[in-house]
Amino acid sequence: MENIGAILKQRFEQIIVENEMLRAGFAALPYIVLRNTALSAGARLAYAVLLMYAWQEGSCFPGQERMAKDLGTSQRHLRRFLQELKDAGYVDWRRTQTTNQYRLLDVKTKLRKAKSRP
């Protein structure tokens, strides 16, 4: 059995990214979120923005003003998108002294349910 590092290295060597912007970074959105039509497009994009911050820093604590600016929306709309994600069980957060600390929740149970559907 190959170790995961070797598998990932082989996989990345097979994908050649010519576009400089893509090489600068991207967020891989899980299909379970991307295909969840119960979520608005804004909520799905907000999840992608949270992933972007998490991959850059290893954790997620962006301010809502910054996130709204990245999404090109108001803070009010952002809060609505985040609440959608929380209600759907994809994210949670806790207030710190200066900003919120976001948690991207494990969606294994959602994956099992999606696989069991016809």
Say what the pLDDT of residue 74 is: 97
**Listed range (35-44, 63-72, 90-99, 103-112) with the worst mean pLDDT:** 103-112
User: In which residue are the tokens 């709204």 written?
Assistant: 68
Do the beta carbons of residue 54 and residue 60 sit within 8 Å? Answer: yes
Whole-angstrom distance, CA of residue 40 vs CA of residue 36: 9
- What the chain holds in terms of domains, given with CATH numbers, is 27-116 (1.10.10.10)
Whole-angstrom distance, CA of residue 80 vs CA of residue 76: 6
User: In which residue are the tokens 């803070």 written?
Assistant: 75
Kindly report the pTM of this predicted structure: 0.71
User: In which residue are the tokens 């060597």 written?
Assistant: 13
